[in-house]
């Protein structure tokens, strides 16, 4: 197996290791905010989050739908702190209407993944569901080992950019 094939195998397993993602958003004035949210992901690498309308990142996504999402290896599991494995996606957020069939289907997936807490959270009217649609990304697995992911096939790594 060559290095790209190895990286592809790691990429396919990496996202499944996480239940929450770090999310970077900005408000209307461009002021950044870093936060996190539990998520589910579909086969196209769309990331779904269900977050309080009172939170800064929700308010930011409403006024500026651009976000960056990062999944990063735990510090205590990394071999080298300066080269932690990480996956980042540049995304555009779309609000999922609470009364839509999509909302209910995705909420069923949240229930399956996160259990009882979703019974309470799904009834909170201030919570919003967003679909974060990746356009591109990078998967870094060490020094000199960064791979590009593009919107034409987010399931497949491209070789390292020249």
Least confident of 8-12, 93-97, 132-136: 8-12
* Beta pairing, strands 47-52 & 20-26: unpaired
The predicted-structure confidence for 85-133, as pLDDT tens digits, reads as follows 999 999 999 999 999 999 999 999 999 999 999 999 999 999 999 999 9
Question: pTM of the predicted model, to two decimals?
Answer: 0.93
Query: Considering the chain, what is the average pLDDT of its residues?
Result: 93
Residue 134, Cβ density class (10 Å: 0-12 exposed, 13-18 middle, ≥19 buried) = buried
- Is CATH 3.60.20.10 the classification given to domain 3-150? no
* Beta pairing, strands 66-72 & 86-96: antiparallel
Tell me 17's DSSP state.
G
Residue 61, Cβ density class (10 Å: 0-12 exposed, 13-18 middle, ≥19 buried) = buried
């Amino acid at each position: 197996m060559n290095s790209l094939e190895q990286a592809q195998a790691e990429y396919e397993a990496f996202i499944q290791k996480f239940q929450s993602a770090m999310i970077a958003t900005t408000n209307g004035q461009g002021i950044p905010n870093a936060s996190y949210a539990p998520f589910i992901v579909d086969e196209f690498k769309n990331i779904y989050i269900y977050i309080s309308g009172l939170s800064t990142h929700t308010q930011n996504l409403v006024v500026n739908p651009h976000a960056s999402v990062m999944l990063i290896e735990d510090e205590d599991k990394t071999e080298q702190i300066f080269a932690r494995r990480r996956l980042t996606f540049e995304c555009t957020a779309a609000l999922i209407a609470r009364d839509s069939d999509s909302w209910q289907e995705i909420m069923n997936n949240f229930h399956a993944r996160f259990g009882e807490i979703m019974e309470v959270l799904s009834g909170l009217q201030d919570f919003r569901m967003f679909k974060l649609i990746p356009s591109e990304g990078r998967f870094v697995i060490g020094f000199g080992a960064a791979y590009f992911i593009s919107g034409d096939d987010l399931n497949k790594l491209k070789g390292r950019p020249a």
